Chains A and B, each alone.
Chain A
Amino acid sequence: MINEDALFYSRVLTELTLSFHIIYATIGVGVPLMIMIAQWVGIKKNDEHYILLARRWTRGFVITVAVGVVTGTAIGLQLSLLWPNFMELAGNVIALPLFMETFAFFFEAIFLGIYLYTWDRFENQRKHLLLLIPVAIGASFSAVFITMVNSFMNAPQGFDIVNGELVNINPILAMFNPAMPTKVAHVVASAYMTSAFVLAAIAAFRLIKGSDHIYHKKALYLTMKLGLIFSIATAVIGDFSGKYLAEYQPEKLAAAEWHFETEADAPLILYGTLENGEVKYAIEIPKALSILAHGIPSAEVIGLEEFPEDEIPPLYIHYLFDIMVTIGVWMMFLSFLYWLGTKRSWAFIHTKWFRWLIVLGGPLSIIAIEMGWWLAEVGRQPWVLRGIMRTAEAATSSDQVDLMLILFAGLYVILAIGSVVILSRMFRRNPVERELEDREADKGGVIQ
């Protein structure tokens, strides 16, 4: 017996929580690495500005971590509250990485606390760097483990079902499922990329707003360079993800690409609209889908016609795919232009309009993350465990989900406003110029 209302609201609530959580989670995974790199560059170049950069990033990071932790706790519990049947089944097979994620999280929490409250206790900057390593590792590994859980939902393995019973369970095989390598790599690389572009947007914004300090220029150059590296990595891994989909989840790729008939020399469809099953206004790139799917221009790509009607994901995921890829390519191009322009001393790099493009890049990258996750998640509908359990069978039977949806929506609105207000106030009240003066004064005080 399926409670249709509970199913619908459970899906909406889960989507809402995750969509909100991943903004903070992505920053939570990527920023520690950026802080660590800034600290390391500061030590290597003996440049106070980078050390300060690391500190100021960390201060903002704490606020995003707080929201990330509470929304993460929410989704952790909601998994059992909204999808009890799914968790009962999956718990038997996939509990191991879930469990390991909490250890990574624990590890990060401990060292973040130590790092934050020992700024003025260790004179040696290298010790600070040592404290940052576990924070960055913990942050990245919690992403690795939790993405393993998600990839298991896309490609469940490591068990057999005999007469409705789970047998021959192998947790390691469940963790290292076929979806895992591309998914984990794509999530981690895109988190680094997004964080780099968000931080670049902040630096560019300060430069536009009149602070012409060398500190912001250093910050911008460092983050754009890192953003370029990670956006290239993300794109390369994205290509591997396409090949994974062609092999293991062809219905998701076909739905994302509006590829209806199985054929060789399959064209890639960019943009366009779908009207009564007809694709209109689209740009077709001949053979590109075959290349994306199999690396060979003449390869055959499975189309949607091969699947029963009730196992096909919604076709609107094509738009999500387009937006994600377009933003990714655009950001790669923009950061490359910036990097090249700086090397060649092109003047337009320093103009206001170009800096506005960089500012825009921060929110754009976050939009790309959202689009990517929606594509990945909606693309495996109607399954919660592909091929094994339908989403409808997994949901709770409780009648109060709609009420909880309202409650949580209110919470997220408050958290969003709160974090934005606090973050902007924190940095506006204490601009880098003043902090640099303070530090000079402190140093003077020590020597006397």
Chain B
Amino acid sequence: MNLEILGIMVLWTFLFGYVIVASIDFGAGFFNAYSLFNGKQHILTNIIQRYLSPVWEVTNVFLVFFFVGIVGFFPKTAFYYGTILLVPVSIAILLLAIRGSYYAFETYGARGHKGYSFMYGLSGLFLPASLSIVLTISEGGFVSIVDGKPVLDYWELFTSPLTWSIVVLSIVAVLYISAVFLTWYAHKAHDQDATELMRNYALIWSMPLIITASGIIVEIRAHNPEHFGNLLNLWWMFALSFLLFLGTVWLIWKRKHYGRAFGLLAGQFALAFFAYGFSHYPYLLYPHLTIYDGFTNKTMAISLVVAFIAGLGLLIPSLYLLLRLFLFNKDYVTGQHIHTNKRRYS
């Protein structure tokens, strides 16, 4: 395997990590706000807050890691994507800022403030939309080179059905992933009501997910035939992904093995995500930038890989510790230690 492939694999894996943890985060914010408005807050808020509190900052770092990494491994992306993405990414930063700060503000300052929760929930839906624009742009057709500088055609972008299909898919995926995860988490917390509610949401969002996902493939066929051809070559990965999806839905329908259901979901998205990534090879921005002409020099690539391995050596045990203490800790999940903390915060 050459360094270009290794670099993009590393980054794609981290992006996948971000997609999963951020989806849980964004969706949870939405469900929390939604429950506040239809009076089911007492059922969900505790579960959601308890999970999100210790990890919101870590979620954000996954994203930082990705965008620092891609400029490191592929400096030319800074030139192409940096120039054209000013507006969409600035909006995403704004939404992230609302989430990050209001999360802390609400948790420590003004618990249960409806306005904050509403902003928080809403930003969770707009964020996947503003970030998924990048995926649309990478398909090509929206960027032209004028005077040696890339220029984004907004009109073309916003009138393209592909754009809106990807936006809808990203929102639906966020809600689905989050619902499945929170079903599992609520179940672990022995919170029957929350489990039932989240189970309903998970089942509700499963159908739109699979419909929009299939729709995208049709859109790409019209938009970028070359990419579509590559997608077809990987049909078996998508088929496998679909089987895993059926497994998740079946387990949730039958109300059993929620943990395993989430595992299947992770597998489903991993397969689809990587199949999409492979089919995009070798382009970072079709047809202007490939991973080969965008790649950094060899010395830098090697030192980045070394730093990455050393960093992972530090990170994996720490993440494991975090998960052990919060996600897989019975006392914490069931809220044995919450009551004393809460009083001190308020």
Interface-located stretch among B184-192, B213-221, B232-240, B294-302? B294-302
**Majority DSSP secondary structure for residues of B touching A:** helix
Q: Is A96 an interface residue (CB 8 A)?
A: yes
Contacts of B97 in A (CB 8 A): 70-71, 73-74, 411, 415
Known: A71-B97, A84-B79. A96 touches B67 (CB 8 A): no
How many Å lie between the Cα of A422 and that of B12 in the bound state? 38
B57 to chain A minimum Cβ distance, whole angstroms, is 4
Q: Of the candidates A78, A103, A112, A397, which one forms a contact with B83 in the assembled complex, judged by CB atoms under 8 Å apart?
A: A397
A76 and B78 form a contact (CB under 8 A): no
Q: Is B64 an interface residue (CB 8 A)?
A: yes
A interface size (C-beta, 8 A): 81
The closest CB in chain B to the CB of A174 belongs to B300
Interface-located stretch among A228-236, A274-282, A331-339, A400-408? A400-408
Contacts of A81 in B (CB 8 A): 82, 85-86, 89-90
How many Å lie between the Cα of A110 and that of B83 in the bound state? 33
A120 and B341 form a contact (CB under 8 A): yes
B75 and A404 form a contact (CB under 8 A): no
Q: Is B104 an interface residue (CB 8 A)?
A: yes
Q: Is B204 an interface residue (CB 8 A)?
A: no
Q: Of the candidates B69, B75, B321, which one forms a contact with A114 in the assembled complex, judged by CB atoms under 8 Å apart?
A: B321
Interface-located stretch among A42-50, A61-69, A288-296? A61-69
How many Å lie between the Cα of A107 and that of B65 in the bound state? 12
The closest CB in chain B to the CB of A95 belongs to B72
A107 and B110 form a contact (CB under 8 A): no
Interface-located stretch among B21-29, B40-48, B268-276, B311-319? B311-319
The closest CB in chain B to the CB of A429 belongs to B346
Q: Is B68 an interface residue (CB 8 A)?
A: yes
Contacts of A425 in B (CB 8 A): 109-110
A93 and B319 form a contact (CB under 8 A): no
B90 and A422 form a contact (CB under 8 A): no
Interface-located stretch among A163-171, A243-251, A316-324, A379-387? A163-171
B300 and A411 form a contact (CB under 8 A): no
The closest CB in chain B to the CB of A10 belongs to B86
Residue from B72, B96, B296, B346 whose CB has the most chain A CB atoms within 10 Å:
B72
Total A-B residue pairs with C-beta atoms closer than 8 Å? Answer: 234
The closest CB in chain B to the CB of A110 belongs to B318
How many Å lie between the Cα of A407 and that of B98 in the bound state? 13
How many Å lie between the Cα of A101 and that of B304 in the bound state? 12
Known: A66-B104, A69-B100, A411-B97. A426 touches B109 (CB 8 A): yes
Contacts of A74 in B (CB 8 A): 93, 97
Q: Is A260 an interface residue (CB 8 A)?
A: no
The closest CB in chain A to the CB of B85 belongs to A81
B137 to chain A minimum Cβ distance, whole angstroms, is 14
Contacts of A99 in B (CB 8 A): 68-69, 72, 304, 307-308, 311
Q: Which of A169-189 contact B (CB under 8 A)?
A: 169-172
Known: A84-B78, A85-B79, A88-B79. A113 touches B94 (CB 8 A): no
Contacts of B76 in A (CB 8 A): 88
B337 to chain A minimum Cβ distance, whole angstroms, is 5
How many Å lie between the Cα of A430 and that of B78 in the bound state? 47
Contacts of A92 in B (CB 8 A): 75, 296-297, 300
Q: Is A208 an interface residue (CB 8 A)?
A: no
Q: Which of A386-422 contact B (CB under 8 A)?
A: 396-398, 400-401, 403-404, 407-408, 411, 415, 418-419, 421-422
Known: A111-B318, A117-B53, A120-B341. A397 touches B149 (CB 8 A): yes
How many Å lie between the Cα of A361 and that of B84 in the bound state? 44
A171 and B303 form a contact (CB under 8 A): yes
B103 and A398 form a contact (CB under 8 A): no
Q: Is B1 an interface residue (CB 8 A)?
A: no
B339 to chain A minimum Cβ distance, whole angstroms, is 9
Known: A80-B82, A99-B68. A70 touches B101 (CB 8 A): yes
Contacts of A116 in B (CB 8 A): 53-54
Contacts of B63 in A (CB 8 A): 73
How many Å lie between the Cα of A76 and that of B76 in the bound state? 16
Q: Is B6 an interface residue (CB 8 A)?
A: no
- Range of interface residues on chain B? 35 or more
Q: Is B222 an interface residue (CB 8 A)?
A: no
A138 to chain B minimum Cβ distance, whole angstroms, is 10
Q: Is B281 an interface residue (CB 8 A)?
A: no
A430 to chain B minimum Cβ distance, whole angstroms, is 7
Contacts of B158 in A (CB 8 A): none
How many Å lie between the Cα of A101 and that of B109 in the bound state? 30
Contacts of B75 in A (CB 8 A): 87-92, 95
Q: Is B15 an interface residue (CB 8 A)?
A: no
Q: Is A435 an interface residue (CB 8 A)?
A: yes
How many Å lie between the Cα of A408 and that of B345 in the bound state? 30
Q: Is B340 an interface residue (CB 8 A)?
A: yes
A107 and B318 form a contact (CB under 8 A): yes
B90 and A404 form a contact (CB under 8 A): yes
B296 and A91 form a contact (CB under 8 A): yes
Q: Of the candidates A65, A76, A121, A397, which one forms a contact with B57 in the assembled complex, judged by CB atoms under 8 Å apart?
A: A65
Q: Which of A409-448 contact B (CB under 8 A)?
A: 411, 415, 418-419, 421-422, 425-426, 429-430, 435, 438, 442
Q: Is A102 an interface residue (CB 8 A)?
A: yes
Q: Is A77 an interface residue (CB 8 A)?
A: yes
How many Å lie between the Cα of A100 and that of B72 in the bound state? 11
A73 and B93 form a contact (CB under 8 A): yes
A70 and B100 form a contact (CB under 8 A): yes
Contacts of A407 in B (CB 8 A): 90-91, 94
B108 and A422 form a contact (CB under 8 A): yes
The closest CB in chain B to the CB of A165 belongs to B297
B299 and A169 form a contact (CB under 8 A): yes
Q: Is A105 an interface residue (CB 8 A)?
A: yes
Q: List 9 A-B contacts (CB under 8 A).
A: A77-B93, A79-B78, A82-B82, A98-B68, A102-B61, A106-B65, A113-B57, A166-B297, A419-B105
Residues of A within 8 A of B (CB): 1, 59, 62-63, 65-67, 69-74, 76-85, 87-93, 95-96, 98-103, 105-107, 109-114, 116-121, 134, 166, 169-172, 396-398, 400-401, 403-404, 407-408, 411, 415, 418-419, 421-422, 425-426, 429-430, 435, 438, 442
Residues of B within 8 A of A (CB): 53-55, 57-58, 60-61, 63-65, 67-69, 71-73, 75-87, 89-91, 93-94, 96-97, 100-105, 108-110, 147, 149, 296-297, 299-300, 303-304, 307-308, 311, 314-315, 318-319, 321-322, 325-326, 331-332, 337, 340-341, 343-346
